[in-house]
Structure 1
């Protein structure tokens, strides 16, 4: 959909909602405090339609919506601090001892003990492949509030992995029926569907600051234009995932407040190394050089992103992971000639052995600007002589399974746990669970193994930088731009703040002033 079509859709949707009752404020009725939140980040397409953290990415919903909490959490500057835990120590390289706070209760009133955490983690390891891969736990012991983890091998980043939402502590004895789990957070889920999560206040919340709202309704609205219309019509009190094109309108309106944070969520495009055309390094380099990252971030993202040199957003990593040579369209055509594409057809597309160079670009629409990136890449690559066919679909996983794509563009948080190994083990190693392009590099695999057993931040960061440089030299991925996260809310909403880690949203501080 082009920019004009999107704008027309937004205006039309606004008209429909407003004529149906624009300005209605559902919080006017009675004294019950109800917070209605619309988001593009919840639903089956995002692999988080539920609240059981042991199921795919549902842990992000568990933590985002104030249902569950992890033993440790990240501060705004991605530093680790205790949350449900009181302390952590390695007694040796393969043994970790964690002391659980003694004042914790689940939302059903049951005390949180080390044994309860052990039972939760046992199910996590059995159900969640990524957690088992990350944590490398061989066995666990519990004694009162002390949990001891015996590891199969040294895991220096263990405490980082224990900030991942998959490790949110839930009461296994309570079960997970109807996708509802019992956590320790300020709110408890009472209804969960593919489209909605309904929460109620946890009146027995253990934290010093108590929850202020009686009820919260989180609603999935995949279409950004419809989400914006619903926010303006009073259907929602706040929204996440609005198109960047509409944010200036809200910034100028005193009825709304915005909270923005820079994140490590990057738009990346993975090359499929099983694609005959992309097995040629000249073609990969030409594709990578075609995208003007600065233009995309400043113009098409309306300044709501930063150009990406690599997978990490911090200045040190940007300097370490120097960008491959920036190729112009003309230079890209020369690279294609080196790959054997020496002729063009009547439409200007390059040919090799009489066949047009055509690439299938797979992406999904629930991240509002991913289709924009696809259209931008299509235009740039057309100028280079490459025919790009876009497939933007929520069923993208089906195409990934069938290898029915050449380039897969997605949005991924690269340092959600505060440690760089997360991205490397997920996307760059041969058997990484999110290595969609089947990228293989024996040197990277060896360095990743070394990184996994290396203690000390400086040494780990140096190894990570070496690994990323190798991936950049291979043009395994195109890292386009890091995204800002922006929450837009009515001016009556307080305590709702965007966080750079992307999975802390609903907290006890959240409140809404009744009108």
Structure 2
């Protein structure tokens, strides 16, 4: 029988038609950023435009804060960018309510708690014209599992191929096995010959890579073998422009047609009749990791966190640019924590803890990186800490690699928490002892035991309750703090049509995207 891996998420997510995040992937630590001081935005834009196409062509120019150094779809977060730009596709996808739906899949059956049988749609082709077969799909999935740590959820999975369908058997019951296949890390590619996969991977999307200059530009042309319609654009040029403020200037000047911008730029462009600006919540969070080796006293961590005024940041500083949260998920979701269930703003308590621990005068390093509103939030946080009697220095970095290195006292980060439509993926990566995003080496045996139970539990209500238990246990240690859900501000010219607006940030260009 066909299975629904997770009940439809109601409430807030039913309205989360968020603008797709053009500029980052789920985890920003893996990216390589271009040197914007050596590559000024307008110079890059002008250079890319020289090859953008001749008169009469429909050329969509996208501005990004970076271009990856490689296009290998199965390494790092490259698959996310390729899916966003319409180069690649996954077997499954998520609808606006985070419900799992088939994409390249015609049907699927859950044979037992460990086994699924998946039948592919007929007539699928890769961009090189080769047919998409079950054998090639399995080879692509296996390459992701082999090369990408983010594919750990399916490690040890056994595959069997029969004509146009295949079966997958997980080593143990795995309630989100199919959801994992919606993650762009599992983008489907022809890996028969991987000699050019780092520059021009062969995928199934409506567009294919024509030119690629690492960390600078990527140019796409229509995939004439696309299985689901005829692409409307003649060419897509994705170029590294730089900071969010520079991206806004690039949109205004016409150097790019489309970009994600910061809150101030979005507010300014929203009154310009030549542009469309969308602002909608996503499941990306602004959060803080606390390093227990640098801040070992739990009272110090609690005192710092109680100095943070979420509402002031969301309403006064960002003027509604984020939604306040109290855990990794929007508070009206069944697996999220409410306002009174995690540490909250209490200036008096924060000051008292600073006095009690005598740590108020010890300088704490709050590290952050240039990414949309993160610098503004970091500056406000420093002021809030100071007001409560703590000495905190906000230090800006080019990217968030300080987290990977463990080189932080407090470290800011932005991360998508519902990338496969289920909380388990995020909870295991951040709070699991061996999680891929466990940057502060958090370890709790009770949390690990609950994560193991949750992985194999198929009942939605029980999974929700397990998620809440995990969050209560983990957040009680004051090693993670959640500020708000990001609202994606996307600005584009009025004549750009048919973008795929989605809450999980890895789709935007489709076969129907057009310039009128």
Whether the TM-score (by the shorter chain) exceeds 0.5 is yes
How far the C-alpha of 1:340 sits from its partner, in A, is 4.1
Number of the residue aligned with 2:483: 480
2:417 counterpart (414, 427, 432)? 414
Number of the residue aligned with 2:391: 387
Number of the residue aligned with 1:152: 171
How far the C-alpha of 1:130 sits from its partner, in A, is 2.0
2:316 counterpart (292, 299, 313)? 299
Residues 261 and 498 of structure 1 are in contact (CA less than 8 Å); yes or no, is this contact kept in structure 2?
no
With normalisation by structure 2, the TM-score equals: 0.87
* Superposition map of 1:299-448 within 5 A: 299-313=316-330, 315-316=332-333, 317-319=335-337, 322-341=340-359, 350=360, 356-365=361-370, 367-397=371-401, 399-448=402-451
What is the rounded CA distance, in whole Å, between the counterparts of 1:325 and 1:17 in structure 2?
A: 45
What is the rounded CA distance, in whole Å, between the counterparts of 1:465 and 1:325 in structure 2?
A: 15
| Change beyond 3 A, Cα 1:98–1:313 | same
| Change beyond 3 A, Cα 1:176–1:190 | farther
Q: Describe the superposition over 1:424-471 as per-residue Cα deviations: whole angstroms up to 9, x where unpaired.
A: 111011111111111121111111111111112211111011101112
Bigger relative contact order, structure 1 or 2 (CA pairs below 8 A, ≥6 apart) = 2
Number of the residue aligned with 1:345: none
1:34 aligns with 2:59: yes
Residues 201 and 214 of structure 1 are in contact (CA less than 8 Å); yes or no, is this contact kept in structure 2?
yes
* Superposition map of 1:91-490 within 5 A: 91-131=111-151, 133-175=152-194, 177=196, 178-192=198-212, 193-207=214-228, 209-240=229-260, 242-275=261-294, 278-313=295-330, 315-316=332-333, 317-319=335-337, 322-341=340-359, 350=360, 356-365=361-370, 367-397=371-401, 399-490=402-493
Corresponding residue SS for 1:461: helix
What is the rounded CA distance, in whole Å, between the counterparts of 2:119 and 2:71 in structure 1?
A: 25
How far the C-alpha of 1:114 sits from its partner, in A, is 0.5
Q: Describe the superposition over 1:257-305 as per-residue Cα deviations: whole angstroms up to 9, x where unpaired.
A: 1233320000000111121xx2211111111111111111122222121
Residues 337 and 468 of structure 2 are in contact (CA less than 8 Å); yes or no, is this contact kept in structure 1?
no
Query: What are structure 1's unaligned runs of at least 5 residues?
Result: 1-15, 342-349, 351-355
Residues 327 and 337 of structure 2 are in contact (CA less than 8 Å); yes or no, is this contact kept in structure 1?
no
Residues 400 and 413 of structure 2 are in contact (CA less than 8 Å); yes or no, is this contact kept in structure 1?
no
Corresponding residue SS for 2:90: coil
Corresponding residue SS for 2:329: coil
| Count of residue correspondences | 470
Residues 258 and 487 of structure 1 are in contact (CA less than 8 Å); yes or no, is this contact kept in structure 2?
yes
With normalisation by structure 1, the TM-score equals: 0.87
From the two aligned structures, give the one with the greater helix fraction.
1
Corresponding residue SS for 2:192: helix
Query: What are structure 2's unaligned runs of at least 5 residues?
Result: 1-40
2:67 counterpart (21, 43, 53)? 43
Q: RMSD between aligned alpha carbons?
A: 2.3
What is the rounded CA distance, in whole Å, between the counterparts of 2:493 and 2:52 in structure 1?
A: 12
